């Protein structure tokens, strides 16, 4: 499951089944689902009680703001309230009231990035069961009260690069320290494999044989144009040698082309990206200063690169499930299956 800000993309894979026949779903992201439930309660003039787990913000944060602006009350458990800020005093300053249980007048709305029970119910009507092993991806900004969560998240990427940048290290059963959204997933699905959505997209793009060949040769720049985040990886020989991350809403096509091309040449500073409301840019000393081939794109906002003559990755013939294919390939690699899947 690749859980983003716009959609949650789901692949149910079994070894004995042809991948093309596997169940594939593109559903509204959990934050969109929670926001829709809040909007319905707001239309009914109902106060709401938020419970469950910390989850991605985005749409649900805007829905809470709209609820409060309408003069309605929003109550939340501490666990659910952490969705909106790391500091619970900031949450209360927004107007959210902390509560351990739902007041009689409030409609309960569950938060959380994972709704396995709902997915099981939907699949049961088609006589489909969930596989027993889960690989999940979200974008986690981390726990950083009093410190920029943009800087905090990019520190995760810097640590990864400093540790060698191995592609295999991008998936784990243990959430990185202070990555609270990943930790919440681990609580909801003990033993699951965890990954960042951008890393899953990069692994997924590498399941396109043309992209894999470039990565094994001169190297390739893979750009995931997500609904919320744009992340580029310089990949060569099983290693990530550089990472650039921005907010997609802050970019237009000329800015995207300029920054990615300068990132590939080693001419883009992390300070410049951060000043533009992005996260940063970092490279290892051995990263190439330029690549012979164009960047490779994936993600739901690929249209942002329209007219740039960049290469679109099509792993297994499906541009929308790159993250799922990446999770599958990384998980199988972790379990010792050297050939992730036959190339389509």
Q: What is the pTM of this model?
A: 0.93
Angle (deg, nearest 10), helices 59-69 and 30-43: 20
Structural element, H or E, at residue 72: none
CA torsion, ordered 66, 48, 141, 169, to nearest 10 deg: -140
How does residue 221 score in pLDDT terms, banded at 50, 70 and 90? Answer: very high
CA gap 240, 163 in Å, rounded: 11
CA gap 189, 313 in Å, rounded: 30
Q: Which residue has the tokens 């699951």?
A: 192
CA gap 293, 261 in Å, rounded: 11
Chain centre distance of CA 53: 17
The yes-or-no verdict on residue 215 having pLDDT over 70 is yes
The yes-or-no verdict on residue 74 having pLDDT over 80 is yes
Question: Which long-range contacts link 286-290 to residues 24+ away (Cβ below 8 Å)?
Answer: 286/241, 287/234, 287/241, 287/242, 288/218, 288/219, 288/234, 288/236, 288/241, 288/264, 289/265, 290/264, 290/265, 290/266
How does residue 144 score in pLDDT terms, banded at 50, 70 and 90? Answer: confident
Give the pLDDT mean for 253-282.
97
CA gap 34, 28 in Å, rounded: 10
Query: How many Cα atoms within 13 Å fall on the side-chain side of residue 4?
Result: 29
How does residue 134 score in pLDDT terms, banded at 50, 70 and 90? Answer: very high
CA pseudo-torsion sign 255, 258, 263, 269: negative
Give the pLDDT mean for 22-32.
96
Which alpha helices (H) appear in 163-238, and where do they start and end? Answer: 180-188, 197-205, 209-216
CA gap 62, 338 in Å, rounded: 44
Give the pLDDT mean for 43-72.
96
- Give CA separation, 110 vs 142, 157, 249, 269, in Å: 21, 31, 28, 41
The yes-or-no verdict on residue 229 having pLDDT over 50 is yes
């Amino acid at each position: 499951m690749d859980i983003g800000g716009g959609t949650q993309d789901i692949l149910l894979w079994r070894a004995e089944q042809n991948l093309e026949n596997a169940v594939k779903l593109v559903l509204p992201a959990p934050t969109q689902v929670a926001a829709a439930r809040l909007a319905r309660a707001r239309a009914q003039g109902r106060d709401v009680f938020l419970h469950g787990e910390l989850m991605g913000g985005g749409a649900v944060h805007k829905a809470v703001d709209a609820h409060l602006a309408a003069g309605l009350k929003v109550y939340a458990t501490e666990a659910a309230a952490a969705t909106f800020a790391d500091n619970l005093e900031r949450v209360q300053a927004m107007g959210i009231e902390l509560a351990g249980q739902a007041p009689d007048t409030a409609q309960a709305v569950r938060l959380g990035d994972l709704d396995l029970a709902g997915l099981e119910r939907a699949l049961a009507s088609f006589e489909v069961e969930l596989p027993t092993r889960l690989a999940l991806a979200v974008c986690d900004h981390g726990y950083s009260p009093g410190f920029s969560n943009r800087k905090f998240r990019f520190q995760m990427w810097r640590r990864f690069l400093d540790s060698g940048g191995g592609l295999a290290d991008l998936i784990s059963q243990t959430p990185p320290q202070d990555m609270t959204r990943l930790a919440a997933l681990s609580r909801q699905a003990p033993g699951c494999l965890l990954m960042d959505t951008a890393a899953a997209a990069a692994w997924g793009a590498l399941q396109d044989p043309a992209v894999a060949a470039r990565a094994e040769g001169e190297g390739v720049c893979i750009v995931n144009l997500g609904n919320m985040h744009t992340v580029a990886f310089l990949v060569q020989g099983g290693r990530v040698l550089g990472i650039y991350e921005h907010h997609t809403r802050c970019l237009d096509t000329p800015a995207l082309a300029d920054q990615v091309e300068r990132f590939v040449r080693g001419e883009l500073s992390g300070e410049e990206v951060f000043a533009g409301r992005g996260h940063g840019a970092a490279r290892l000393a051995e990263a190439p200063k330029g690549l012979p081939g164009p960047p490779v794109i994936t993600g739901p906002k690929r249209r942002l690169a329209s007219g740039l003559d960049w290469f679109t990755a099509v792993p297994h013939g499906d541009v929308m499930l790159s993250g799922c294919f990446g999770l599958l390939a990384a998980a199988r690699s972790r379990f010792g299956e050297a050939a992730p899947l036959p190339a389509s």
